[in-house]
Amino acid sequence: MKAVRIHTQGGPEVMRLEDIAEPQPKAGEVVVKLDAAGINFMDVYQRSGLYKLTLPLTLGVEGGGTVSAVGSGVTDVKAGDRVAYTGVPGAYAQYAAVPAARLVILPAGLSTKQGATMMLQGMTAHYLACSTYPLKAGDTCLVHAAAGGVGLLLCQIAKMRGARVIGTVSTPEKAKLAREAGADEVILYSTQDFEAEVKRLTGGKGVQVVYDSVGKTTFDKGLNCLVPRGLMALYGASSGPIGAFDPQTLNAKGSLFLTRPSLNHHIITRDELLQRAGEIAGWVRDGRLKLRLEFEFPLKDAAEAHRALEGRKTTGKVLLIP
């Protein structure tokens, strides 16, 4: 089968389309014939070297497809089931071996492409808005990269929970998308000082929570946007890591809270995985949560897909199609 692998970490050019053996399911595993693999910044971090990994590696941690083979001891899924998953390496391929406990069976009405679109980014938006800082009526949140894959979903879920949403984007086109997703106010960080704008929009008070996937270029000013005892949820680093940080800064700026969460710690048990994925799938099925699938790239063009994502030329979700 075909798979996109890396033998060294670096730029998009290190990705190679190779022929490797089709996986066979071990006990507790199934093999999924993939219809789509989700592309995420996590893949970029793994490819670039920000995350240290054992190589060689087949990239991709999110996919949607159909179960083609079942290993011993598996009872929850069967051959022919349409499924989606995240958090398991090896999705940039035609087939992937996945622990059955990490699979979610898709409800009627949802395609496998939608499954690959919603799992990582949808559940990330879910835990941020519902667990990391459970938004409620009267809260105001700042969402960086509000027209990105997580950002568009986070804006929608924040509005479901009754919060006021301020989003930051880089272009007027992305501002329109953020507003359509529910952002009450949108700041063009390329031409406006987002810190000054947040202070203006909140009457100098600030926001209860900042959801920051950007990192280096937004972190310091984001702290200045928080109310006393507000929360900075730093869940990504698309502009680079923030570097060394003195916790005393949190005291000086108002006894702030800082967390660096990740999805894997919010779907540790199968029950929690099914609960989060089930809510997201239900909202998508019922039309309450809209997925934006902007680009589909063939597997051989994985490097081009990464360049588009890193160059901030995309909005919503990007998929690889085996």
Per-residue pLDDT tens for 144-194?
999 999 999 999 999 999 999 999 999 999 999 999 999 999 999 989 999
Other C-beta atoms closer than 10 Å to the C-beta of 287 total 7
Q: What is the mean pLDDT of residues 132-141?
A: 98
Structure tokens at 31: 């093999």
Picking from 21, 17, 26, 28, the residue whose alpha carbon sits closest to that of residue 60 is 17
H helix or E strand, kind and range, residue 284 = helix 270-285
Domains of the chain, with CATH numbers?
Answer: 2-120+270-321 (3.90.180.10), 136-260 (3.40.50.720)
H helix or E strand, kind and range, residue 179 = helix 172-180
Q: What is the mean pLDDT of residues 20-38?
A: 97
Model confidence pLDDT, tens digit, residues 249-298: 999 999 999 999 999 999 999 999 999 999 999 999 999 999 998 899 99
Give the confidence band of 50 by pLDDT, cuts at 50, 70, 90: confident
Give the confidence band of 52 by pLDDT, cuts at 50, 70, 90: confident
Q: What percent of the chain has pLDDT over 70?
A: 100
Q: Residue 302 pLDDT > 90, yes or no?
A: yes
Q: Residue 51 pLDDT > 90, yes or no?
A: no
> What are 261-265's contacts with CB under 8 Å, separation 24+?
261/127, 261/128, 261/132, 261/233, 261/235, 262/235, 263/86, 263/87, 263/120, 263/123, 263/124, 263/127, 264/87
d(CA 289, CA 160): 9
Q: Residue 226 pLDDT > 90, yes or no?
A: yes
Structure tokens at 173: 């086109």
Q: What is the mean pLDDT of residues 18-23?
A: 97
d(CA 103, CA 267): 12
Question: 152: Cβ–Cβ under 8 A, 6 or more apart, which residues?
Answer: 146, 177, 178, 181, 290, 292, 315, 316
Give the confidence band of 69 by pLDDT, cuts at 50, 70, 90: very high
Per the prediction, the chain carries an average pLDDT of: 96
Strands (E), the chain: 2-6, 15-19, 29-39, 57-58, 62-70, 82-86, 95-99, 104-105, 140-143, 164-169, 185-188, 207-212, 226-234, 257-259, 293-298, 317-321
Instruction: Judge whether 300 and 15 are in contact, CB under 8 Å.
Output: no
Give the confidence band of 313 by pLDDT, cuts at 50, 70, 90: confident
Model confidence pLDDT, tens digit, residues 113-131: 999 999 999 999 999 999 9
The pLDDT of residue 316 is 80
Question: 57: Cβ–Cβ under 8 A, 6 or more apart, which residues?
Answer: 5, 6, 46, 89
H helix or E strand, kind and range, residue 200 = helix 194-201
pTM for the model: 0.93
Angstrom CA distances, 87 to 103, 109, 153, 267, stand at 10, 24, 19, 10
Q: Residue 315 pLDDT > 90, yes or no?
A: no
